[in-house]
Amino acid sequence: MVGQRSVREILLAAAPIAIAVFVFGVSFGVLAVAAHLPAWSVVLMSVLVFAGSAQFAAIGVIAAGGSVLTAIFAGGLLNLRFVATGIAVTQSLPGGRLLRSLLAQLSIDESYALSARAGSPGRPDGKTLLVTGALLYVVWVIGTSLGALLGPVLGDPKRLGLDAAFPAGFVALLWPMLSGRHAVRCAVGGVAASLLLAPFTPPGIPLAGAAVVGLWLAR
Amino acid sequence: MAGPLALALVLGLASLSFLMRATGSLLPNLPSAITERTSGLAPALLAALVAIQLTGSNGLLHLDVKVPAVIVAAVLAALRAPFIVCVIAGAIVAAGLRAVFHL
């Protein structure tokens, strides 16, 4: 696109997305506290993980009675796509390997998308990534903290339908990803694998099966 | 959830996430055949998470208020409604059906 944009211009362009991330953060905080995570750990998770869908998946596993290992596994695998975006963004970041691997932590779906639009998917604009990523990081942590404070005020999670909020949220996260034929195939395969395995295997295995099918059907 | 367990969850997820984002900078020459395949993980896992949330403790599909909640959320997502609208609508459908039918 057009040359170097100022920090102000980048922030203004990211503002609508920052609002969406803030609201996502609040809802994540509310649901995580409703899943009986201590409020401090919910905020710490947002500070250290900074990946909405992975955090949401991990909490969803816990809320459904899954183990900590299954939750880490589900969230961690969802973040594997950051290996691919990490390879793209590292070319646009300043400094040596260590600094770049630290700065690459600011890449989430939204900051990557905006920086790819300002540059190209294979060579995203580094300044856009850093400015947008930093803005979204702050907004995400503040939103989560607010949600974690609000959560206990709301009352019985099940009466409020909060257990249904997780599958509803997963569908909402999934839908925009279903743009390509491969993605649809992977989603259908993931459902089939998990439902086939669920009656016979301990929790965690159905998700692992879905992951293997996803990798297999991706090309 | 007990504090140490919650801390284990946070630190485990945080270290995996850190490593995955750092891989590109630390090992820039990963074969593209590997990285291209990672794009299939997110849709497969999210779809599987939806399916798993709809199964009961016996691992079989369990028809309850979550099913209409997911359908409503999916329709809203298809209409490009924001994330929070889908989540709240799903919760309202489930809570409403429970209240009306005393489920």
Q: In this predicted structure, what is the pLDDT of residue A136?
A: 95
Q: Which residue of A174, A197, A207, A216 is the best one to mutate when testing the B interface, meaning the one whose CB has the most B CBs within 10 A?
A: A174
Which of A36-45, A51-60, A152-161 bottoms out in mean pLDDT, i.e. has the lowest? A152-161
Q: How far apart, in whole angstroms, are the C-alpha atoms of residue A43 and residue A20?
A: 18
Between B89 and A84, whose confidence is greater?
B89
Name the residue among A130, A76, A80, A77 with its Cα closest to residue A100: A130
| Interacting residues of A18 by C-beta distance below 8 A, sequence separation 6+ | A135, A136, A139
What value does the mean pLDDT take over residues A52-68?
90
Name the residue among A139, A161, A190, A159 with its Cα closest to residue A24: A139
Q: How far apart, in whole angstroms, are the C-alpha atoms of residue B72 and residue A165?
A: 11
pLDDT-based confidence at residue A129 (cuts at 50, 70, 90): very high
Measured between beta carbons, the chain B residues lying within 8 angstroms of A178 are 43
Name the residue among A103, A116, A117, A110 with its Cα closest to residue A132: A110
Q: In this predicted structure, what is the pLDDT of residue A1?
A: 46
Are the beta carbons of A172 and B43 separated by less than 8 Å? no
Between B2 and B71, whose confidence is greater?
B71
Are the beta carbons of A161 and B58 separated by less than 8 Å? no
Measured between beta carbons, the chain B residues lying within 8 angstroms of A209 are 48
Q: In this predicted structure, what is the pLDDT of residue A3?
A: 57
Nearest-Cα distance to chain B for A146, in Å, is 15
Instruction: Report the residue of chain A nearest B57, measured CA to CA.
Output: A199
Which residue do the tokens 């005393």 mark?
Answer: B102
Domain residue limits, chain A? 7-166, 178-219
For the beta carbon of residue B64, count every other beta carbon within 10 angstroms. Answer: 15
Percent of chain B with pLDDT over 70: 99
pLDDT-based confidence at residue A86 (cuts at 50, 70, 90): confident
pLDDT one-digit tens code per residue, A130-151: 999 999 999 999 999 999 999 8
Q: DSSP 3-state assignment of A119?
A: coil
Selection from A61-75, A87-101, B17-31, B65-79 with the highest mean pLDDT: B65-79
Q: In this predicted structure, what is the pLDDT of residue A143?
A: 95
Are the beta carbons of A172 and B1 separated by less than 8 Å? no
pLDDT one-digit tens code per residue, B3-50: 999 999 999 999 999 999 998 888 877 777 777 777 788 889 889 989
Are the beta carbons of A169 and B61 separated by less than 8 Å? no
CB A48 within 8 A of CB A105: no
CB A30 within 8 A of CB A151: yes
Distances (CA, A) of A69 to A141, A203, A208, A213: 24, 10, 12, 20
Q: How far apart, in whole angstroms, are the C-alpha atoms of residue A117 and residue A108?
A: 14
What value does the mean pLDDT take over residues A87-99?
89
Which residue do the tokens 């946070």 mark?
Answer: B10
**Side chain identity at residue A20, one-letter code:** A
pLDDT one-digit tens code per residue, A160-215: 888 888 899 889 989 988 888 889 999 999 999 999 999 998 777 888 899 889 98
Q: Which residue of A83, A107, A146 is the best one to mutate when testing the B interface, meaning the one whose CB has the most B CBs within 10 A?
A: A83
pLDDT one-digit tens code per residue, A18-35: 988 898 899 899 999 999
Measured between beta carbons, the chain B residues lying within 8 angstroms of A86 are 20-25
